[in-house]
Structure 1
Amino acid sequence: MADAITADTAPARASARPAGSGDLRLRLRQNAGLLGAVALFVLFYGLYNLYHPRGFSTQVLIQNANEILTLSLLAMAQTVPVLLGGLDLSVGAVMTLVNCLASHLVAGSPAQIALGIAACLGAGAAFGFVNGCIVVYGRIQPIIATLASGAIAMGLALFLRPKPGGKIDADLSWAMTNALSDFAETYGLFEDGKAAWFQPVAWIPVPLLVLSAFALLVWVPFRRTLTGRTIYAIGSAEGAAYMSGLPIARAKLAAFTLAGFFAGAGGLFLAIQTSTGNADIPQASTYTLNSIAAVVIGGTSLLGGTGGAIASVVGALVLRAISFNFRIFDVPPLLQPLVEGLVLLAAVSLGALRALRAKNRLELFR
């Protein structure tokens, strides 16, 4: 009888609870990693600006935005294969290859520059597509396939640029690495950039706008497509996705192609920022490892199926904010990897804590 009373009254108690509160708690649990990354970024970046002699100024923001963009694009590139449940170890090498290619192509007339930019982005996407073909049709694990293809990409980069050099259009380099007002003035978009409506946004760094454009115009629409949803389904349970009739092969090809596109965009901007091409092997390895760290810090699961590129951008912001503080507080170079490793370990541990507390795998997706 007591059991019957309990069973009958339970729905009443559940219905008495505000519907919105349950949804809010669910969303907070699902985005706990992202919210933690945002809190870390606010903490580290706020601390950096408080102790910087010119903190909270436009000049500092522009400098930071330039340092953030390439890693953020590499983090977005790494996110897509991770959502499948794999890793792409070639993103740093693809970035370096496109960086060297851009030093040959992004110069000359406006038409030549536009074609050069398109060729660089296309080269990155094409290399990612090749990675996808190796994984899908060669049936090779992504971590092995991309390790081998990354070595090929570095070889091509060294062929293009045995020594650092090349040339990037000076106007493009200046306009893309400064504030929106400088971009407008460089290309004469407004009368001396002094239009009244333009002034409130003239201070915004162009790199932040570029990053926002890639996130909102490329990633967000892609995620909402059938292919984008299939990538999440594969990472959650590939067998179930296959039995549901989802386009598995197409989704994997699209994932690696998009990863190559984002990595190519990172290499293109690195060339624009440095005005040169450089087949730097240690730099490529560092960017690859940092892209994985950014994905983890942003709350995307390395098991696949949960997370997103925007969360990984936040993870990249956290990594860069930590490195900014190294300069302010004169942390010895030998101790910097230790500090970054501790932060990454803490982020991974917090993500694993939820899995350890779950009674079964289904609870991870509630």
Structure 2
Amino acid sequence: MKPILELLPLLSRPRQIAIIMHQKPDADAMGSSLALFHYFQLKHHQVAVVSPTLYPDFLKWMPGAKEVIIYELHPEKATEALQKAEIIFCMDFNAFHRARPADAALAQSAGIKVIIDHHLQPEPVFEYGLSDVQASSTAELVYEVIIGWGDKSLINNEIAQCIYAGTMTDTGSFRFAATSARVHRMVADLMEHGLRHEPIHQAIYDNFLENRLRFLGYVLSNRMEVFYEYNAALITVPASDVRKFNLSSGDTEGLVNYPLSIQGIKLSALMVENHQEIRISLRSKGDFDVNEFARKYFNGGGHLNAAGGRSTDSLEATVARFKKALEENKALLEKPLKNP
């Protein structure tokens, strides 16, 4: 894979560009994609943004969100955008299957594939890219790419809002270990140039319906199991709960983090049953590697302390597999967390 800086000569004249994010996009996937979208528009390229699936309602405020083509709603339009593109930017994912159900259209498109991502072990399917596992977020990398291409002056308020939203959420409001000095320097720079951070926080975290709050109370009381012998916890959300509380895309966002507030818990898992599949989110503290845990047991991956996976087994069978995995990793989970 060639460094993304070497792509610059190809962008010296207007191009047909497509930007695609991973399925079930979070604020980082949306923010990094839309920041790049606004940047390329300022450079007079023809740009289309594709999301494989619907994105959460709390991201609809993002500048440019209405321009995103949803593949699962408009597959022909999204496929056409990918087929016409001379260059395709793959944002916040490192393997084509993470773009399901648009993965086949992506793989079959003739455009140059470019990755901007911060996940471990990218697949060798990209011709150019920036893959930095030390970065807090893909949004942070977009900021650095724009600067690296010599266009810092083009970072306007729309781009800054998208970058901030992606970085804020992927760092857990700047509390995760990936919140480096370079993150704070970037945010300071954005704020010095006029970014207002409070409205973005409110738009993302204070913008849910009543049913979501009632769901949180219910699920924490009735669907959370704590395994103190493994310093782990599990929350399960069966399809019946999804229907009962009329959950929308994004309503389970952040739920996996709640058990980590329990003293001594170093591994938290969330399983959500939907569309004949169990979607699994994993979070950890310290040196317990949920990236490897997800890859080994749940056909997934991610970061050291944040990863995801999936299962096509029943919810009961998937829970049983998780409990067996806890036993196999007991020695690692028993290690106490280091004090500050």
Per the normalisation by structure 1, the TM-score is: 0.25
If asked which structure has higher relative contact order (CA below 8 Å, sep 6+), I would say: 1
Return the structure number with greater strand share: 2
Return the structure number with greater helix share: 1
Larger Rg: 1
Per the normalisation by structure 2, the TM-score is: 0.26
